Amino acid sequence: MHILLVFYSRTGRTRALATTLGQALGIPATELTDARARIRGMAGFVEAAMGALLGRLPALAQGAPDPQRYDVVIVASPIWLGRLANPMRSWLHQHNGRVARLVVVATSGSGKMPAGAWADASKLSGAGLLTSTCIGEAVIDQGKGDDPVRYFAQSLQQKISTLKPQSGAA
Ligand SMILES: Cc1cc2nc3c(=O)[nH]c(=O)nc-3n(C[C@H](O)[C@H](O)[C@H](O)COP(=O)(O)O)c2cc1C
């Protein structure tokens, strides 16, 4: 099985989570970055919130991976206003019809996956959702995010072991 793990992170929490997940699955975690550098601090928060509110799909830096060769695509992203962060939404939209099966791993303030977030991700990518999880920012900030991530990785590996390859990659 070919598994792609891509993540977006503005302030580092999703990066930490994706790094642990990649290590648990034995695959690299590839970071998506904006084509235009984001403002930091409170102004950056406002910029991100405005983009989320307006549903903007910002340009990404060159070199983002093509998901078509993979049987399972895991996207790790913060939640912004009830949906995945806009740069991740951009990437999913860019690859509509090229994602075989989608796994959504989110981080959020509340630690709950908003009802519409994975449905939106599935619509943008055109892919069916295999499974999802969401981990709260406080859990990550307290350094307690690794255990739930490793547990999720184990259950994901079990699910993946029951699937048939779809990518056609050797
Ligand atoms: C613009 C913006 C909107 C957010 N909206 C939500 C939200 O709707 N629900 C929630 O629980 N957390 C929300 N958060 C909190 C982030 O999802 C959370 O802090 C996340 O862990 C940040 O990930 P990062 O450090 O990888 O960027 C929002 C954060 C930002 C910057």
| pLDDT tens profile 144-165 | 999 999 999 999 999 999 998 8
Please tell me the residue having the least CA distance from ligand 1 atom 1: 49
Q: What DSSP element (H or E) covers 103? A: strand 101-108
pLDDT of residue 65: 84
pLDDT at 168 over 90: no
| Ranges of each domain in the chain | 3-161
In this structure, the strands spanning 3-7 and 30-31 are parallel
Ligand 1 contact via 154 beta carbon (within 6 Å): no
pLDDT at 170 over 50: no
pLDDT at 169 over 70: no
Q: How far is the CA of 49 from the centre of ligand 1 (A)?
A: 9
- Side chain identity, residue 75: V
pLDDT at 166 over 90: no
| pLDDT tens profile 24-83 | 999 999 999 999 999 999 999 999 999 999 999 999 998 878 899 999 999 999 999 999
Distance CA 85, CA 15 (A): 13
pLDDT of residue 165: 81
Ligand 1 contact via 3 beta carbon (within 6 Å): no
Residue of 9, 56, 108 with the most ligand 1 atoms within 8 Å of its CB, for mutation:
108
| pLDDT tens profile 2-24 | 999 999 999 999 999 999 999 99
For residue 123, name the pLDDT band (cuts at 50, 70, 90). Answer: very high
Distance CA 159, CA 163 (A): 7
Q: How far is the CA of 124 from the centre of ligand 1 (A)?
A: 20
* Virtual torsion, Cα 148, 127, 78, 160, nearest 10 deg: 20
Has this prediction a pTM greater than 0.85? yes
pLDDT of residue 10: 96
| pLDDT tens profile 74-117 | 999 999 999 999 999 999 999 999 999 999 999 999 999 998 99
Ligand 1 contact via 21 beta carbon (within 6 Å): no
Would you say domain 3-161 falls under CATH 3.40.50.360? yes
